[in-house]
Structure 1
Amino acid sequence: MTKADSTLAWYKDAKFGMFIHFDVDRRDHTNWNPDNLDTDEWVRIAKQAGMKYMVPTTHQSSYIQMWDSKVSNRDVTDVTLFRQPYLKELVESCKKEGLRMGAYYAIADPGNPLYNEPNVMGEIEPYVEYLHKVINELCEIHEPILIWFDASRRFRHPDQKKLLRQQDMVDMLHSFGTLSNSRLGDDDALKFVDYLTMNDNMAPEINLGVHWESAVELGESWHFRSYDETLKSVEEILERLINATGNGGNLLLNIGPDSHGVIPAKTEARLKEVGDWISKNEESIYGTKAGPYPYQISWGSIAQREEAGNTNLYLNVLEWPDTGEFTLFGLENKVLNASLLATGEKLRFESKFDAASGQKILTLDIPRNQPDAHVTVIKLQISGKSKMNQNHLQLTDGKVLLDAYNASIHDLEFVPGKPTKAIDMKMFTVADRRPLLADNYTGAWDYQMYKKPNEGIMPSREITVSGFHTKGQALSWDFKIYKPGSYDVAVVTHVPKNKKWESDGKMKANVAGQSVENLLIESKRMKSIAMPKSMKSYSSLGTVKIDNSGTYKLTLEVSSNFNVAKPRLYGVELIPINK
């Protein structure tokens, strides 16, 4: 195992880190001098919160290096009153407490005369040479576990991307045992880099099949703002954490120290609450892997850990049923034991096979009142490696969630070489940034770098699907259902928080021998983990009745063109109608 392999394994197990936006004041960098900065205190707060690593900004919006650099003549010791060896002290503070440190670095550098951003097709090679040297110096001096690259906008065009010399950079980083995130040239397909960085504040609610990290603001800004009084609740933070552990990712939660270098007391108090929950449930967080069910789960998430030839499943339950019963569909393994993780209380369970839907049904007797105010973890010990039915399955609340990224795509015309599912195109963050190629282009089609006219149904940003707006296009899913009954068929689309959703197009769903059709008329909005500054808009197509348990196919088609507002689709939900 190489040094980089070892670092990557550690990073995947760590799960939870602290992002620190702390930068020189751009308005008055000469007099910048945080007089109360104590890196031991920063690390104490991070450790208390259950965080395993820290990623401070080392070159961000002021474009000043935050270490004593010999490569750059514009570092914190050159242009400010601040003389404290800040990064060196932070590394030492982390080592004392068993934490590790990465480093944020913005590739964009408008203050550097070598960086000719205004002329986007101008010569950039001298700046790239400088960039490689300054990153090499950062690694030599401070040995970060990762470089959290950002702002590679100068290199988004395919003709310019290769000038960034991604492979050379990653080879150099790996020689130090240092990782690179995907914002080194927007490498969503991980051709060169080690892991995927999602768009700011965003996260997938499904397993993408690659390891990812979600960087999230604790408040409303990355940097400290005296007027920013809004902090995410403990439940919101834990929802993001369990979503990461259940779907193969890390959570990097951002805090902003004030101008004196002090982390606000309110921030510390909120992080301590998170740490208190983790201290009782850490077995379900650190060292776990994504659960065996790869799709969205309405009640929470599932993480897993292999142990002594068997597997522990951790059901992280955010939406606790008040029926005294919890049902898990599709788990094929024998269950050895079930308990509440935090208390060890044993739970009675029963497993049976449903021949009609071809799946096992596990039923757990649980307390009617949720034991934990935020997230309750149910631990299942199962025999052998976990195996779960890979269809979209009904969930304990009766819903069936069909996400657009895993739908089978039915374009109007055959597109040679195009994958049949959006998830296989590996476009998770940069879908809207690809340059358009000419109609007569006949070369190889790289879905991560190019787009073509009339390319049909494609991934769009924030794990939605776009291009689904022309009559005759369709998406389809296979799913299993256990509880017969009536279901509302709801199309779920993206909409900004403060924007009215209006549409002139229709969609039609076909399922269980029935068709329902309607305009996309919004019936409700709900929050979205994937897009916190946007909402999920629900539009009902109508009601279908499913008389028997079994395996079904749902096909969603555009039945009349969308011209006014073209939807970005999360998917379809079958929502049980209780009578």
Structure 2
Amino acid sequence: MKSILLNCLFLIITMSAVQAQTDASSLDPYANETEAERDTRMEWFRAAKFGMFIHWGVYAVPAGIYKGEKVGKYGEWIMSDGSIPMAEYQRFAKKFNPIKYDPEAWVKLAKEAGMKYIVITSKHHDGFALFDSKVSKWDIVDASPYGKDLIAPLAEACKKHGIKLGLYYSQAQDWNQGGSARGKDKKGKWDPAQEHDMDDYIKNIAVPQVKEILTQYQPAILWWDTPRGMNKERAEQFLPLLKLAPGIIHNNRLGGDYKGDISTPEQFIPGTGLSGDWESCMTMNNTWGYKSYDHNWKSTETLIQNLVDIASKGGNFLLNVGPTAEGLIPEPSVERLKNMGEWMKKNSESIYGTSASPCRTPAWGRITTRTKGENTTLYLNVFDWPKSGNLFLPVTNKVQSCYLLVDKANKLKTKTDEQGTTISLAGEAPDSISSVIVLKLKGKPIVSDADNIKPDDEGNILLPAQKSIINNVIGSHVIYNKETDCIEQWSNEKATVDWDFSVDKAGTYTISMHIASEEESALELMIGDQKIEFKIATTEGFKTFNVGEIELDKTGNYSIHLKPKHKEWKAVMLKGVTISPK
């Protein structure tokens, strides 16, 4: 009898566990998706590569200025950064009257730029909806003189012109309707009127509004933002809604440990890309939402090279515009998008439908890949046209053909050996920003170690900033600056820097670093399982520090990893690292 009872108890527990797993899976329509099904669903996104982000709302009225003062970093955060009371902020909606809004012109501009999809803020953190919500009066129809849905005509224009529509929705933060607000005090409130119950907000505002936008507009993407305060129970209330828009793609910012379909690095390009599907979102100047005084526009060259860089690492580029309160995209944004479109007209074959480079990032530019059957096409986007007339990449396959994308009839000479392939170039670069060479190979790419940094004649291994692999994280924007020939803006302690190198002689090596720091800082250096921790004293300009010694007990390939030391890290600039035999 005891044995029977134990067996029954085990069966009940097992069935309960299976039921719980089934219930959890039934919430997420993609929980049991096969790899083939996922590939089909993600196919258009992976091929698109380039999209437009639109941050638009009531915050375009103050345009970054409150009580005569410039406020905050981003225009759309002005309510929080300026600690503006709810009642006062809501008065801005009375001046939000975008009578010059032309959604078809926006879509045509995106298409002219070579973009394949648009993601617009249906509701940002201030809680103002750009659609007619039935669960709130804090929307474009009820709270503004404009009085008409802004999303519907954009959705119609996207459909007309073959552009995919994505909708951004701030599910966790809502500073006007009881969501998880954030203020300067970091406690989440700056106005007593913001006292709230987040669970009540999720149930009665956020979930119904997501249901509204999925039902009404059938978007291809749902772009959550942010996961702050979103535990598993809160997040799970949104998952069943995804069934309302079959095939929809959603990002990794829902919360509750749900990874979504795409990772979303913000304002940076991961040094070696990311695993899985991902999309870098970036501003064109310094802000997402419109700020009247932000004129720090990125150049067309930077934007095009960012697009190429992201594609070469397997990601998509979501480039932002911040329209004015009247409904106009600022002219500098329009100008740059049209310039990008001119480049894309000639070179989009090297972007659309491509995958990541088989090689590490070359000094002269970036590489994208297209595979067809057993053969491979590499697109060599050359940023710096070689003065020597020779372009090298460490790929040893048999070359079937090589030519400029803009001049297919003019075949380029190549020479391949065990180290790689050298392409002979003549004359000036056909494009001052990025010239594309098409290299067709027999088979899948075979990459040699020739691109690893090797010792010089004296055995020294020089690791310059230009050849570093910068691994950024959200909130960091570490960059290599060609003008200063150094790694800059390394202030975030979670960002790291790597190099790959080779040694031809085993032994003890000393490591030095050419670095500048305005405050005392600290780093960790790792090669394999060996680690050196060291401090960097305050410098005036650049100074060479002896870091320590490390044992490389065999010849071959290595990687060096630089990581800021937690709580002791201060911003530095780095020219490079030297590894010398003792």
For 1:492-571, list aligned pairs within 5 A.
500-503=517-520, 551-553=556-558, 565-566=568-569
Show the counterpart of 2:369: 304
Measured at CA, do residues 362 and 568 of structure 1 come closer, stay the same or move farther in structure 2, by a change above 3 Å? farther
How many angstroms apart in 2 are the aligned matches of 1:8 and 1:351? 36
Q: May I ask how many residue pairs the two structures share in their alignment?
A: 468
Mapped to 2, the partners of 1:94 and 1:557 lie a distance apart of 45
Match of residue 149 from structure 1? 224
- Provide the rounded CA distance (Å) in 2 between the counterparts of 1:538 and 1:298: 25
- What do residues 458-487 of structure 1 show as CA deviations (whole Å, max 9, x unaligned)? xx9696249xxxxxxxxx9763489xxxx9
For 1:473, the equivalent position in structure 2 comes to none
CA deviations on 1:163-218 (whole Å, 9 max, x unpaired) are: 3324x53453255122211121285xxx530000113x112121222222111111
Which TM-score applies when normalising by structure 2? 0.70
Contact 1:68 1:77 in 2 (8 A): yes
SS of the residue corresponding to residue 102 of structure 1 reads strand
The answer to whether the Cα contact below 8 Å between 2:214 and 2:244 also exists between their aligned partners in 1 is: no
1:133 to 198, 208, 228: 208
Q: What is the alpha-carbon distance in structure 2 between the residues aligned to residue 338 and residue 236 of structure 1?
A: 27
2:122 paired with 1:58: yes
Q: Which residue, 416, 421, 428 being the options, matches 1:351?
A: 416
Map Cα deviations across residues 240-283 of structure 1 (whole Å, 9 max, x no partner).
10111011111111111222111233321221111101110010
Contact 1:522/1:540 (8 A) holds in 2? no
The equivalent residue for 2:163 is 99
Q: Which amino acid aligns with 1:369?
A: E
What RMSD in Å do the two structures reach over aligned CA positions? 4.2
Aligned counterparts of 2:329 and 2:428: Cα–Cα separation in 1: 36
CA contact (8 A) 2:222 2:251 kept: yes
Identical pairs, percent: 29
CA 1:112–1:504 in 2, change beyond 3 Å: closer, same or farther?
Answer: closer
Structure 2: 5+ residue stretches without partners = 1-33, 62-88, 190-194, 455-461, 477-490, 550-554
Amino acid at match of 2:403: S
Distance in 2 (CA, whole Å) between partners of 1:69 and 1:404 is 43
Please tell me the residue identity of whatever aligns with 2:405: L
Secondary structure of the structure 2 residue equivalent to 1:337: strand
Shift of residue 92, structure 1, vs aligned partner: 0.8
CA distance in 2, matches of 1:391, 1:325: 16
**Which of 172, 176, 184 is the matching residue for 2:241?**
172
Of 40, 45, 64, which residue of structure 1 is paired with 2:104? 40
- Aligned position for 2:255: 185
**1:382 aligned partner:** 441
Letter of the 1:262 counterpart: L
Contact 1:18-1:253 at 8 Å conserved across structures: yes
Using the TM superposition, give the Cα deviation of residue 341 of structure 1 relative to its aligned residue in structure 2, in angstroms: 1.5
Compared CA separation, residues 220 and 313, structure 1 to 2 (3 A): same
Change (3 A) 1:119 1:83: closer
The residue type paired with residue 569 of structure 2 is: K
Q: Distance in 2 between matches of 1:404 and 1:273?
A: 28
| CA spacing shift, 1:507–1:538, aligned 2, 3 Å | farther
Deviation at 1:105, TM superposition (A): 1.2
Tell me how far 1:321 sits from its aligned partner: 1.8
Residues 571 and 204 from structure 1, CA distance in 2 versus in 1: closer, same or farther, beyond 3 angstroms? farther
Could you tell me how far apart the structure 2 residues matched to 1:125 and 1:230 are? 40
Shift of 1:154: 2.5
Structure whose CA Rg is larger? 2
CA distance in 1, matches of 2:473, 2:134: 37
Alpha-carbon offset, residue 32 of structure 1: 1.9
- C-alpha separation in 1, matches of 2:135 and 2:149: 17
Partner deviation per Cα, 1:5-57 (whole Å, 9 max, x = no partner) = 54422112111111111102445212321111111111111111111111111
After TM superposition, give the deviation of residue 112 of structure 1 in Å.
1.3
The reply on whether 1:267 has 2:333 as its aligned counterpart is yes
Amino acid at match of 1:14: A
Q: Is the contact between residue 489 and residue 575 of structure 1 (CA under 8 Å) also seen in structure 2? A: yes
What is the CA–CA distance in structure 2 between the aligned matches of 1:491 and 1:3, rounded to whole Å? 49
Distance, in Å, in 1 between the alignment partners of 2:500 and 2:453 is 12
Aligned in 2, Cα 1:364/1:521: closer, same or farther, shift over 3 Å? farther
Give the match's secondary structure for 2:429.
coil
Deviation at 1:328, TM superposition (A): 0.7
Q: How far does the alpha carbon of each residue in 1:474-514 deviate from its partner, in whole angstroms, 9 at most, with x for none? A: xx9763489xxxx9977598x9xxxx534366888999xxx
Task: Tell whether 2:232 aligns with 1:162.
Answer: yes
Q: 1:20 aligns with which of 40, 54, 57?
A: 54
Deviations along 1:56-115, one digit per CA (max 9) or x if unpaired, are 111114311111112333221111111233211001111111111101111201211365
Q: Summarize the Cα distance change of 1:233–1:404 in structure 2 as closer, same or farther, 3 Å threshold.
A: closer
Amino acid at match of 1:22: W
Q: Secondary structure at the match of 1:35?
A: coil
Amino acid at match of 1:124: M
**Corresponding position of 2:501:** 479
| Whole-angstrom distance in 2 between the partners of 1:126 and 1:209 | 36
SS of residue matched to 1:28:
helix
Aligned pair in 2 of structure 1 residues 164, 276: CA closer, same or farther (>3 Å)? same
Counterparts of residues 229-378 of structure 1 (less than 5 Å): 229-293=295-359, 295-329=360-394, 331-344=395-408, 345-353=410-418, 360-367=419-426, 369-378=428-437
Residue 444 (structure 1) aligns with: none
Counting helix residues as a fraction of each chain, which structure ranks higher? 2
Shift of 1:383: 1.3
1:32 alignment partner AA: F
